A and B are shown apart, each in its own frame.
Chain A
């Protein structure tokens, strides 16, 4: 078959209508809805449902329609052809056609295998009798529910996650359940011995019976199952036997098509099989020698695979670190990573048998390698995060086992025990929202995410410092009702895409206006909203500096008016004073303007500038004109997501301690960087000696002068959440300091999410990443600085001059009409 022209639609065939396959299709539709004809084959006669919720379905806590992810209409609405109940039987990779049982033949340009896994059936006599079932799909659950109505005794073979959930469900349906397990401890792949004992005791209390270290030898019965026989000859009566001993990747089809398989279908980091036209995701896959049976890795795989199918992808799947929670109502259990340890690990253990609490944290080189929590799992997410990020815990190791609240200390908003606070404890200090308000809103409005709580109550929507606490309240209030899927942060409610996905599309698809982005990425609201429009405007301008133009209608009023709006609708005016240095002429111009235009308040700012507050909007162009003509002053961009100020001390020019000329360096940096548009405001400082009087350690980019050169610091913040800057490196000359500064700013401009300061940006990508891009790779540093300088050509025009001398946007500052 000949390849298609780029503008022709590609045929994508998906084999498998399960969670991994459909998540990939959903992710693909969000990036490129129009470029594919999509055909889906599913062996089961349903739409696409949430397999994780089979346990609650069995336990009677959910109904089938509640666990459906996509209805038939969804397939129709998205132009997807669905063959359900029609498994694919063969793939001809040469001719690129799949053949289904129904006789359907469908050609493909790209093929996605998502065939999932099959339950493992132990090879014993009688395993095919009536009443012997597995626990894998809706039919299995229906079979168990039917049996529970007429039968009494159930035996579940397998004491792992799946087996225990099946046993719990059957018990809830009124059956007498015995769990048979080959090992001497339950869930041995997730739990250590003490936690497994506590779990077993708790399940026994609820009414389950266990038969440990028992090897099933035969299933007894003539036509229908009547019992189970174990090695040694013991027998147990049974009306229903559920096999829940494990799963194996379903690779038959892939193997018969000649694709390389071992335990699973072998894929690389872009989810491609050995045939580059064929991708595979989910439980059928073997990646870097690992196979997965949990949901989080599937989401990660689907996301990577979708971007590569859409040809906008640079993302790679590098394997997943997984954690487990048991979905048995009322039992709190968490497990992640290496919880057994070896000769190179140390255990930190906390045990309180009376409260039924057990915690074991396994440390390797002072980093969390694994954790098992029983009874109190509130800090599971935190330990998991420490583990994934490889955080060195030596500083709070003595408090680690008591949880985040004690380990990090102090701040009640970070308190893992936020659930224990009284209802009138204020959680959001900006909007005055108390714990009781949030909990009530979660219940009344069925809220499931921090974003939803924010929308309803305003908690966490201003400075954002309390969002962790809100997240904990959501988790504590919903408990088991919380969906297992990770809470993806989208740009806003107009789209399901993340900031990174949107920016990748803008770059790869050459989108230069916010309207083009919304159109290309299927925005739900044609105009977008006040959250996404400024973000899209930023990404377009930052990605295409010589083509994209700022859209006034998509900028916050301060950036449209070039002044800061105040609570009474007046504005403040802050002229630029490079490096905080001024002179009599500038000061005289400011004094004259303040008198002439009745400026009520004149104040010195924290960034070493002078702020004139209370200016009327219609006076702004005249104020700017006077400042320029009389004082030579230009805009200080105090209103913009841009370089704000470079704060300096007087340095060795005057100070008896100064070791370098910090003032000159600060003035130079400000001349290089003013006017540059960034994800958020950006502050710099240069201190002339390690006494650090310019407070460089709480700036986005700070320089502390040393006798031998300059220490460069990044990601400091003195605002919402105090964060001392990280040391990037030390350099010898001011030329180097300038180049590193420009390179860091450009990296932040290219990778920072809109509205994300450098502090959270660095915490998200990691200091090592920043060092790798800016310090270790000299060529990349130069390239970054060059891209910054290129964009500055278009950014460094004084907006005040344009508006006061050239009449730009004159109508912004005057009423349409005055009626007296």
Chain B
């Protein structure tokens, strides 16, 4: 479980409509990009922008349901749990992201 977070640790990163539906945008962080995804149901999820397989940029993949397919070798990663779909194995770091009336807030501390 993440450390107790205060509002000060959340960063406003933009608005929901800045991310294409069934698409993603990146947030540049000092230690690597975070990908923020938007599903067809307008849910938002944030993962480290690196596939557990060979580090491919997940933000560039095709989003379907609550999953994204990595553009390099078609690994499929769950947006909610960061886990590779069977039969592949691996995890990508997850981050909390919230939609507050259309404004998106990201907590750049890993979820676990």
Contacts and interface: CB of A to CB of B under 8 A. Distances in A.
A778 interface: no
B18 A811 contact: yes
A525 B41 CA distance: 13
B22 A819 contact: no
Contacts of B30: 819-820
A539 to B, nearest CB: 17
A355 interface: no
A530 B69 contact: yes
A533 B25 contact: no
Given A527-B40, A529-B64, A533-B64, A552 B20 contact: yes
Interface in A793-820: 811, 815-820
A553 B68 CA distance: 11
A393 B26 CA distance: 58
Contact of A530 (B19, B25, B64): B64
B103 interface: no
Contacts of B25: 811, 815-816
A530 B65 CA distance: 11
Interface residues of B, number: 36
Contacts of A456: 87
A669 interface: no
Contacts of B108: 819
A528 B67 CA distance: 11
Interface in B56-76: 56-57, 60-65, 69, 71-72, 74, 76
A557 B64 contact: no
Interface string B68-112: 010110101000000000010000000000000000000010000
Contacts of A557: 60-62, 71
Contact of A526 (B21, B40, B60, B87): B40
Nearest to B24: A816
Interface string A518-562: 000000011111100110000000000000000011101110110
Contact of B14 (A525, A554, A816): A816
B55 to A, nearest CB: 8
Contacts, number: 86
A298 B29 CA distance: 60
Nearest to B40: A527
Given A567-B72, A816-B18, A817-B11, A552 B23 contact: yes
A561 B65 contact: no
Contact of B28 (A527, A558, A567, A818): A818
A764 interface: no
B14 to A, nearest CB: 5
Contacts of B26: 815-816
Contact of A553 (B11, B14, B63): B63
A816 B36 contact: yes
Interface string B32-66: 01001001100000000000001111001111110
A765 to B, nearest CB: 28
Given A526-B40, A811-B18, A816 B27 contact: yes
A689 to B, nearest CB: 42
Contact of B71 (A455, A565, A816): A565
A558 B72 CA distance: 11
A456 B86 CA distance: 8
Nearest to B54: A567
Contacts of A819: 11, 27-30, 108
Contacts of A529: 62, 64, 69
A802 B26 CA distance: 22
A553 B20 contact: yes
Contacts of B61: 530, 557
B27 A815 contact: yes
B19 A816 contact: yes
A155 B110 CA distance: 75
Contact of A556 (B14, B56, B71, B76): B71
Contacts of A818: 27-28
Nearest to B26: A815
Contacts of A556: 62, 71
A560 B24 CA distance: 12
Nearest to A554: B62
A567 B26 CA distance: 18
A530 B11 contact: no
A422 to B, nearest CB: 24
Contacts of B54: 567
Contacts of A525: 64-65
A569 interface: yes
Contacts of B11: 817, 819
A461 interface: yes
A817 B36 CA distance: 11
A529 B72 CA distance: 16
Contact of B13 (A569, A817, A820): A817
Nearest to A445: B87
A565 B73 CA distance: 12
A553 B74 CA distance: 16
Contacts of B60: 557, 560-561, 565, 569
B64 A816 contact: no
Contacts of B19: 816
A552 to B, nearest CB: 7
Nearest to A456: B87
Nearest to A819: B29
A553 B39 CA distance: 11
A552 B40 CA distance: 14
A258 B76 CA distance: 58
A569 B56 CA distance: 6
A811 B27 CA distance: 12
Contacts of A455: 87
Interface in A273-324: none
A369 to B, nearest CB: 43
Contacts of A552: 20, 23
Nearest to A527: B64
B89 to A, nearest CB: 12
B53 to A, nearest CB: 11
Interface string A395-422: 0000000000000000000000000000
B62 A553 contact: yes
Contacts of A817: 11, 13-14, 27-28
Contacts of A561: 60
Contacts of A457: 87
Contacts of A527: 22, 39-40, 63-65
Contacts of A565: 57, 60, 71-72
Given A530-B74, A552-B23, A819-B27, 13 more contacts: A525-B64, A527-B63, A528-B64, A530-B64, A533-B64, A553-B23, A553-B62, A560-B60, A816-B13, A817-B27, A819-B11, A819-B28, A819-B30
Interface of B: 11, 13-14, 18-23, 25-30, 33, 36, 39-40, 54-57, 60-65, 69, 71-72, 74, 76, 87, 108
Interface of A: 455-457, 461, 525-530, 533-534, 552-554, 556-558, 560-561, 565, 567, 569, 811, 815-820
22 contacts: A526-B40, A527-B65, A529-B64, A530-B69, A552-B20, A553-B22, A554-B62, A557-B61, A565-B71, A565-B72, A569-B55, A569-B57, A569-B60, A811-B20, A815-B33, A816-B18, A816-B19, A816-B25, A817-B13, A817-B28, A818-B27, A819-B27
5 smallest beta-carbon distances between A and B, as pairs: A530-B69, A816-B25, A553-B22, A530-B62, A557-B60
